Amino acid sequence: MSVYQAIVDPAERNTSHSLMLELIGPDVSVLDVGCASGYLAEALGRMGCRVSGLEYDPQDAEKARPFLEELVVADLNLVDLAAQFPGRTFDRVVFGDVLEHLLDPQGVLTSAVDLLSADGSVVISIPNVGHGALRLCLLQGHWDYRDVGLLDRTHIRFFTLSNLLALIEQAGLVVTELRSSVADPLQTEIAIDQDRLPPGVVDWVRRQPTAYDYQYILTARRAGDGRAGTDRVVPALVTEPVVDRHTEQARDLQLAQDALADPNTAAGRLAELRHSALTSRDTVIGLEAQLGQLRLRLASVNRELGAVKQDNNRTHAALGSAMDDATHAHAELARSIADSQQAHAQLGRARAENSSVHQRLSDAMEDARQAHLRLGHAQDELVVVHRELDRATRGRARSPLSRLGGKARRAVAGLKRRLR
């Protein structure tokens, strides 16, 4: 079962995966040979690439399937690569840490040429067995395999830069871009017992041309079309010279060798070193004086910082008090609003009652007006009755007077009815 799984982070440029993504480019058709669980295919899909894959481990292949247009499960130690994709061509055929696992990497690489489109290229990532960590490892007499890294226990072929370039040429290809991920010989997964190494050895190894090249990542195209090849390695990072006890040991060893070869030269070098030491001592004294001044400034800054903190605490306390006042004010405002709403409701009820009273008063006034009208009519009729009574009193005959009296009584009765 395969143990390979990785997180591809394009922002982390000093990795083989990021460098492969740069060399493959976006929006191309890709054959990912040895696609494992599909972590590279997934990253390529996000770049708009159309990816097919080949993987020998069935379980990993199923994990990769969602990221692939076409998947072939096969062992390249047993089958021909081009025969697995009949009639197909690709813009990029990718071997990401694969060739070192094969019995015949040249044969597989030669077969891959048949799968390239007209302007297609092969992209390869492969570990460098000439890395400084492995040189130091062999100097100490051990070669311990691991699950991953330069001494992956499943590696069956090993490549330096020179025999990698020879492999590319023998497959009918020419290298057009050549890059490397880099690591200091003492900063890898390879265990080095630094105390067992002779003085100057680490410094010497570090200064060798390919000692920092951890993996090579390259693009190769068909040979014979006029393209110029390259063997110039472009590192992913520019490493600064390391200065540690190993460089100091190398300097001291060189001084001793110079003394044995030419005592006069050694004496001059020693004088230079003494002068340098004195100059360094003066520099240290100056730096100590500057350090003292900086300490005084730091103490002043600390005092100012303490005052600022006190002001900040007072400000926070005042802010807390203001927030409490604001809370009380909000509560008072809420109560005032509630009282105002209650007053408005009472005013509304009073207005409604006032309107009802006005209506009843209006009705009473109308009734009084009607009563006044009826009273006026009654008074007019009483005047008529009084006139009739006066005439009756002055009348000559009893009979007309009786009739008049009866008429008057009926008029008074009618008047009473109207006044009710």
- Inform me whether the pLDDT recorded for 405 exceeds 90: no
Is 74 in contact with 56 (CB distance < 8 Å)?
yes
Q: Given this model, what pLDDT does residue 206 score?
A: 93
Nearest CA to 108 out of 98, 118, 117 is that of 98
Q: Given this model, what pLDDT does residue 254 score?
A: 74
- Inform me whether the pLDDT recorded for 398 exceeds 70: no
Confidence band (pLDDT; 50, 70, 90) for 341? confident
- How far from chain centre, in Å, is Cα 219? 32
Nearest CA to 419 out of 377, 383, 369, 388 is that of 377
Confidence band (pLDDT; 50, 70, 90) for 2? very low
C-alpha to C-alpha distance for 110 and 170, rounded to whole angstroms = 8
Q: Given this model, what pLDDT does residue 278 score?
A: 61
Task: State how far the alpha carbon of 66 is from the alpha carbons of 37, 51, 71, 297, in Å.
Answer: 10, 11, 10, 62
% pLDDT > 90, the chain: 49
- Inform me whether the pLDDT recorded for 3 exceeds 50: no
Query: Cα torsion at 295, 297, 299, 301 (round to 10°)?
Result: -140
Give the ranges where 190-262 is alpha helix by DSSP (H): 201-206, 245-261
Mean pLDDT of 248-270: 71
Confidence band (pLDDT; 50, 70, 90) for 45? very high
* Strand-strand pairing, 29-33 and 90-96: parallel
Sheet containing 116-127: give its strands across.
Answer: 71-73, 50-55, 29-33, 90-96, 116-127, 213-222, 173-182, 234-235
Is 159 in contact with 56 (CB distance < 8 Å)?
no
Comparing 328 with 95, the larger pLDDT belongs to 95
Q: Given this model, what pLDDT does residue 401 score?
A: 47
Phi, psi (deg, nearest 5) at residue 92: -140, 130
- Inform me whether the pLDDT recorded for 107 exceeds 50: yes
Q: Given this model, what pLDDT does residue 80 score?
A: 97
- Inform me whether the pLDDT recorded for 279 exceeds 70: no
pLDDT in tens, 283-340: 656 666 666 667 767 766 777 777 777 777 787 777 778 788 878 878 888 888 888 7
Q: Given this model, what pLDDT does residue 257 score?
A: 74
Comparing 191 with 337, the larger pLDDT belongs to 191
Is 30 in contact with 3 (CB distance < 8 Å)?
no
Is 256 in contact with 201 (CB distance < 8 Å)?
no
Comparing 355 with 265, the larger pLDDT belongs to 355
Q: Given this model, what pLDDT does residue 268 score?
A: 63
Q: Given this model, what pLDDT does residue 311 score?
A: 76
pLDDT in tens, 9-39: 888 889 999 999 999 999 999 999 999 999 9
Neighbours of 416 (CB within 10 A): 10
pLDDT in tens, 152-174: 999 999 999 999 999 999 999 99
Task: State how far the alpha carbon of 343 is from the alpha carbons of 64, 335, 338, 339, 351, in Å.
Answer: 76, 12, 9, 6, 12
pLDDT in tens, 209-234: 999 999 999 999 999 867 778 999 99
Confidence band (pLDDT; 50, 70, 90) for 277? low
